[in-house]
Amino acid sequence: MPLQHLWATWRSDYVTSAVETRSSDSEAVAAGTPARTLFERILAADGSDDDKHIVARGEHCFVLLNKFPYTSGHLLVLPNRGEANLEDLSEAEHTELWQLVTTSVRAIKAAFQCDGVNVGVNLGAAAGGSQSDHLHVHCVPRWIGDANFIGVVAETRVLPVSLDQAHRQLRAVWVASPPAV
């Protein structure tokens, strides 16, 4: 059977619009300070953690709902500092990052009663990282029979829970049993 191609040309609009790197930090450039990553800017932005959908903050890392989720409850766990390389994290950042990943998986399971969780890291643009200047771990709830390929086939994402509702559900679980970091 010849190789079949399944085109997802809609992704090019997302990839080119979602890529906000340090070079787009005009505020820092104007002030003559080092440019910040998109995630550093989110962390430092005005507004409450609820407004920014930050689920938890640690000393070195934080947990954020993905604004462009694969499914409801899709979390990102990342260091506060914009670091692209896993091997360049400090020992404290590394330890807290993986503790928060474990806590995030527990929280996702408790908040959404999902059947499983995908956990993954894309290191570098070639690995698929649209925000490759600031490493982040994806924690994605999954259900047996969920809409795995609808994004590719129908150019649609099925998100039964809003970001605000997902944030409330995750925060409620998180507050009930805070992470041991």
Q: What is the model's pTM?
A: 0.76
From the list 53, 60, 74, 136, the catalytic residue is 136
Give, in words, the CATH class of 24-176: alpha beta
Q: What is the pLDDT of residues 67-100, one digit of tens each?
A: 888 888 999 999 999 999 999 999 999 999 999 9
Show Cβ contacts of residue 53 under 8 Å, excluding neighbours closer than 6 positions: 64, 65, 67, 163, 164, 167
Whether 79 and 95 have beta carbons less than 8 Å apart is answered as no
- The burial class, CB within 10 Å (0-12 / 13-18 / 19+), for 130 is middle
Q: What is the pLDDT of residues 113-149, one digit of tens each?
A: 999 999 999 888 888 777 889 999 999 999 887 765 5
Look up 136 and say whether it is catalytic: yes
